[in-house]
Amino acid sequence: MKTTQHALSALILVLCACVPGCANVAPWERGNLAKPHMALNPDPMQSALRTHLYGSREASTGGGAASGGGCGCY
């Protein structure tokens, strides 16, 4: 009996936490949300380069001859 009450209260808590995230956006405000600096990844080329450099520094790429000391040095 108590586990169902706990599960129900947890479900209600999760639903209450999700509801405030819903909002109506007016048409004239959508331009602000479409700006490049609002993107999750504003510069994908720079992110790809950083990921490649991090992988080569940490020697975390598999397959034999990985170039990098593994120390994370710049």
pLDDT digits (tens, 9 = 90+) for 8-67: 888 888 887 777 767 788 888 888 878 887 788 888 899 999 988 887 777 654 555 555
Report which of residues 17 and 74 the model is more confident about: 17
Please, how many CA atoms are within 13 Å of residue 38, restricted to the half-sphere of its CB? Answer: 7
Query: What pTM did the predictor assign?
Result: 0.38
Q: 5 pLDDT exceeds 80?
A: yes
Domain locations along the chain: 1-17+24-58
Confidence (pLDDT) at 15: 81
- Give the DSSP letter string of 19-69: GGG-----GGGHHHHTSGGGSSSS-HHHHHHHHHHHHHHHT---SS---S-
The structure tokens listed for 46 are 């720079």
Confidence (pLDDT) at 64: 54
Confidence (pLDDT) at 45: 92
